[in-house]
Amino acid sequence: MSHIILIPEFKRLIDEKDIDTLREFFTDYHPKQSAEFLEELNPEEVWFILLLLDMDDAGSIFSYFEIEDQVELLQHGDDNSVKKLLEAFSSDDRADLFKTLDEKTYSRLIALLTKEDKEDVEDLISYEEGTAGAEMSTDFMYCYIDQTIEDLFFYLREYGSSKETIYYIYVVDENDTLQGMITLKDAVLSKPTDLIKDIMNTDLITAGVEEDQEVVAKLIEEYDVMALPILDEQGSLKGIITYDDVIDIIKEEQTEDVERMMAISGVVEDRDYLDVPVWVHFKKRIPWIIILFFLGIVSSKVIGHYEDILSQVVILAFFFPLLNGTGGNTGAQSASMVLRSLTLETLEDSDFIKAFFKEFLISLMVGTVLFFTMYLSFYVFGFNDVSFPLWKISLAVSLSMAFQVISATLIGASLPMIAAKFKLDPAVVAMPAITTIVDFTGLIIYFNVAKIILGL
Amino acid sequence: MSHIILIPEFKRLIDEKDIDTLREFFTDYHPKQSAEFLEELNPEEVWFILLLLDMDDAGSIFSYFEIEDQVELLQHGDDNSVKKLLEAFSSDDRADLFKTLDEKTYSRLIALLTKEDKEDVEDLISYEEGTAGAEMSTDFMYCYIDQTIEDLFFYLREYGSSKETIYYIYVVDENDTLQGMITLKDAVLSKPTDLIKDIMNTDLITAGVEEDQEVVAKLIEEYDVMALPILDEQGSLKGIITYDDVIDIIKEEQTEDVERMMAISGVVEDRDYLDVPVWVHFKKRIPWIIILFFLGIVSSKVIGHYEDILSQVVILAFFFPLLNGTGGNTGAQSASMVLRSLTLETLEDSDFIKAFFKEFLISLMVGTVLFFTMYLSFYVFGFNDVSFPLWKISLAVSLSMAFQVISATLIGASLPMIAAKFKLDPAVVAMPAITTIVDFTGLIIYFNVAKIILGL
């Protein structure tokens, strides 16, 4: 709401060139809030304001813009201003920006960078998406192993303000090989004459540039560190991944898991739902729908096989959706519980028998409840058949229901565990696949139970 | 693997009382790794080692133990050792521990705390689960507004080592009301004579003790801060929530979302899957299964209503599972896409018409593909009927399939949006509910299309 009131005010201040008021305003607010205000202005106005500010502040605000707005703004700026802003921009965000540029804009912008920054961008965008290298920032603070705490503070005051974090300072030798890490906390609590090598922590958790970003996220989370140093094959420190990157990675992986669970294939889109073209949505959804269609044809063939029984007792068809639905629901429940435990690594390979037995007990309880609910439903909801006594039909359907619940629960629990056993991502066993499989196992149970009870 | 080799070695060192080697070993390793080693030893051995170490280190190692192991260890320690360890333990983890204690152990342990720590525990456990108050730590660093940077560093050296973080230092007035915040980075980059009030940041993002932890997590994530100050109604600073808590909160909320999607009710269990009793699993799963059962009965009644048609054309029943399954799959896909966008807040109320239209276009494409796939399947998989020409049956089923895909997609997309419109958590619209609803809408479509095409 405040935006609506403020925007005309900003425009007035810009017209009047009231630099002091504008500068004070945007320095006071959090960069994210400032970015939200600026989104409402046109590129010329945004440039006017950004150039008033300290370039580090301008860089922080710019990093909160949507990537398309960043590109648009850079296309509207003169070379000198763009150069300043790109220099102030953090290295990982800058690399992300360059990844999205078309060839022409890329050439124009990369030419504005210093040689060092240019190499930095080219290096960062060369890593494959999803690896630690592609996610890391190169704006880390480092010092040399033979220096003192006093030297370190001198460096911090000199270079600290432009770094992603100065709370972890990495210690390297003359070959840039990582030797240790010192926290700013330890540095503050030490004497100026203390030697870095005596204070530094040498037992570091690290990851390689080619490591999967999900593994890095897990390490940061498990070891409760603020940042993880990323090394190349030679052990040289190439960058760091910080806790805020981890939050993004976790969210992305979470979206991927949900999409897989719901039978949506392909990579997770960076773009918002509405920005993704219909065609792309279609391509991500159709493969599994077709695969599941052909799995579903098996159910049609199963029913076709028992056509004689069905023609004699048409009422059996009334409960296809109920039996299949309940099987699908119980199967999805057990699959998701097991899947979750596998993802969070609270369930080990060696626990599978235990988990299976646990699901069996749960399914016995759920199956028993549903047996009685189904049996009574025949009388309560007034289902009837002419050729067989109601109690017989009711018993056949209710027993099938109980067996369906038990088998579906066990199938749901087993499939992710089997996938994990074969070192496949258990999430590939999408929920719809489970419901489709329990459809035809349920039908086979149903017709056979009916045959026996009804004596067909 | 290293554990197996090291455990006998630890036992030997403990027997020989080789204090120096043990102390050096456990100081070198990350506390999490040390905790993993110690888990293999018996409580007496663990106590022997913990008491050798600096108590801050011992507290860090202890915080990586499973909560049940923490309780067991405390039950095996003498009062003096327990007292030392509880003092070194971080305030939020300590409160979590006290929450799980039985009455007897609680009384014994709380009596060992200093008056201040006792009040701290009692205060923290009084907040409702899921609020900022229950999640926050009270080990934050603060200073007064009229002090200098030199005063601050004096405090940091004196008290800093026991704090959760010293990277954000909160500035309060004489009433403990929060006035601002200074980062250690700013402090390091300032002169010793600078006044706190001139350097501090006054535009703080804060949350109240009663705030939902999910909201706090979102704030920390959006504003890229390391910690968020938590205030009571009077604006007094009560504690902080740090980025590592956010990662835990996000994971917990994610589990909750998945469980809701899979029709599992109740609160998310803190315990591992195998530690949760069968009875608790049963209670979380059965409510939705029963609700969905009764929703499913509607499908049975729908089929019952069209019994005449079904008796004439039994082959129609062959495709119940396929139609329902495909409807469920397409509905779940669109629901999960929309749900995800709502959760990530990339889809606004005002975009609902656009999203609906987009899903309509996607469903037209998927529906068209499935129309032809279904039509051809009749010939390829050899389905047949005596009373109607195959092309007519095939057309009826295929058209129904196309309509089912379109309506299921739109139902799947609409339900979460409708829930959001009414300010309900869109995740309450569990996927199984969507599949159950599209079961009976699909059947109504199916029988009516069949009636028209087959002229019944």
What's the pLDDT tens digit per position in B104-138? Answer: 889 999 999 999 899 989 988 889 888 999 989 98
Token pair 């974090």 in the structure block, residue: A165
Q: Are B117 and B86 in contact (CB under 8 A)?
A: yes
What does the pLDDT look like over B227-245, one tens digit per residue?
A: 999 999 888 999 999 988 8
Q: What is the ipTM of this complex?
A: 0.73
Chain segment B344-387, per-residue pLDDT in tens: 778 887 888 999 999 999 999 999 999 999 999 999 998 887 78
Cβ of A321 and B439 within 8 Å?
yes
pLDDT of residue A372: 96
Residue A56 lies in a domain: yes
Position A315 in a domain: yes
Considering the domain architecture, whether residues B112 and B142 belong to the same structural domain is answered as: no
CATH of the domain at B216: 3.10.580.10
Nearest by CB: B326 against A28, A274, A296: A296
Residues B95 and B159 placed together within one structural domain of the fold: no
This prediction's pTM: 0.74
Looking at the structure, tell me whether residues B198 and B343 fall in a common domain.
no
A351 in contact with B at a CB cutoff of 8 Å?
A: yes
The answer to whether the CB atoms of B333 and A262 lie below 8 A apart is: yes
Same domain, B159 and B104: no
* pLDDT computed for residue B175 by the predictor: 84
Q: Which residue of B has its CA nearest to A218?
A: B247
Is residue A341 included in any domain, yes or no? yes
pLDDT at A39: 83
In a domain, B48, yes or no: yes
* Chain-chain contact of B188 with A156 (C-beta, under 8 angstroms): yes
Q: Among A80, A95, A126, which residue terminates a domain?
A: A126
Q: Is residue B193 pLDDT above 80, yes or no?
A: yes
**Is A9 inside any structural domain?**
yes
Sequence-separated (6 or more) residues with CB below 8 Å from residue B449: B396, B399, B400, B403
Q: What is the residue whose two structure tokens read 């479509």?
A: B445
Contact A431 B436 (CB under 8 A): no
CB contact under 8 A, B341 and A262: no
Shortest Cα distance, chain B CAs vs residue A333, angstroms: 6
Interstrand relation of B165-172 and B178-183 (parallel, antiparallel or unpaired) = antiparallel
Chain A residues close to B167, C-beta within 8 Å: 167, 184-185
Same domain flag for A229 and A352: no
Longest CA–CA span in chain B (Å) reads: 98
Question: Are the beta carbons of B181 and B201 closer than 8 angstroms?
Answer: yes
Indicate whether B109 and B211 sit together in one domain.
no
Using alpha carbons, select from A243, A270, A269, A228 the residue that is nearest to residue A132: A228
Residue B319 has pLDDT above 90, yes or no: yes
B240/B328 same-domain check: no
pLDDT beyond 60 at B416: yes
Q: Which residues of B touch A288 (CB under 8 A)?
A: 329
Residue B152 sits in the same domain as residue B100: no
| A298 has a chain B CB within 8 A of its CB | no
pLDDT recorded at residue B7 = 76
- B166 with B58, same domain: the answer is no
Region label for A47, one of left (φ > 0), alpha (ψ between -120 and 50) or beta (otherwise): alpha
CB spacing of A223 vs B289 below 8 angstroms:
no
Q: Is the pLDDT of residue B28 over 80?
A: no
User: How many C-beta atoms surround the C-beta of residue B244 within 10 A?
Assistant: 19
List the single residue in B with minimal CA-CA distance to A249.
B247
Q: Which residues of B touch A426 (CB under 8 A)?
A: none
Task: Report the distance separating Cα B34 and Cα B25, nearest Å.
Answer: 9
Q: How many domains does chain B have?
A: 3
What is the rounded distance in angstroms from the CA atom of residue B220 to the CA atom of residue A356?
40
Mean pLDDT of all residues belonging to chain B? 88
The Cα of A242 is separated from the nearest Cα of chain B by a number of Å equal to 11
3-state DSSP assignment of residue A242: strand
> Of the residues A126, A150, A176, which one is the last residue of a structural domain?
A126
Q: Residue B336 and residue A435: Cβ atoms within 8 Å? A: no
A chain contacts of residue B307, beta-carbon cutoff 8 Å:
314-315, 318
A419 domain residue, yes or no: yes
The domain that holds B334 is classified in CATH as 1.10.357.20
Q: Say whether pLDDT at B430 is over 80.
A: no
Radius of gyration of chain A (CA): 31
Which two tokens mark A191?
């004497």
Task: From chain B, pick out residues whose CB is under 8 angstroms from the CB of A33.
Answer: 203
| A311 assigned to some structural domain | yes
- Chain B touched by A259 (CB under 8 Å): yes
Q: Is the pLDDT of residue B445 over 90?
A: yes
Q: How many angstroms from the chain centroid is the CA of residue A455? A: 54
Which pLDDT score is estimated for A5?
61
Report whether pLDDT(B302) > 60.
yes
pLDDT of residue A33: 84
Give B389 to chain A, closest Cα distance, Å: 17
Q: Does A377 touch chain B (CB under 8 A)?
A: yes
Best mutation target among A182, A297, A443 (most B Cβ atoms within 10 Å) is A297
Q: In this structure, is residue A146 part of a structural domain? A: yes
B363 and B329 co-located in one domain? yes
* A150 and A113 co-located in one domain: no
pLDDT 10s digits, B45-102:
889 888 888 888 888 889 888 888 888 888 888 898 899 898 888 888 888 889 888 8
Where a domain ends, among A82, A97, A126?
A: A126
456 residues of chain A, pLDDT tens digit each:
345 567 778 888 888 888 888 888 888 788 888 888 888 888 888 898 888 888 888 888 898 888 888 888 888 888 988 998 888 888 888 888 898 888 888 999 899 999 989 998 998 888 988 899 998 999 899 999 999 999 998 888 888 877 878 889 999 998 889 999 999 988 888 888 999 999 998 888 999 999 999 899 989 988 888 999 999 988 899 999 998 888 888 888 888 877 877 777 777 777 788 888 899 889 988 988 999 999 999 999 999 999 999 988 999 999 999 999 999 999 988 988 888 888 777 888 788 899 999 999 999 999 999 999 999 999 999 888 778 899 999 999 999 999 999 999 999 999 989 888 887 777 666 678 888 899 989 999 999 999 999 988
- A228, β-bridge pairs: A241
Domain match, B184 and B242 both: yes
Q: What percent of chain B has pLDDT over 90?
A: 38
Q: Answer whether A247 sits within 8 Å of B251, measured CB to CB.
A: no
Return the structure tokens found at A183: 């926290």
CATH number at residue A56: 1.25.60.10
In this complex, is the C-beta atom of A443 within 8 Å of any C-beta atom belonging to chain B? yes
Domain carrying residue B318: 273-454
Q: Which residues of B touch A166 (CB under 8 A)?
A: 185, 188
A 84-103 residues with CB below 8 A of B? none
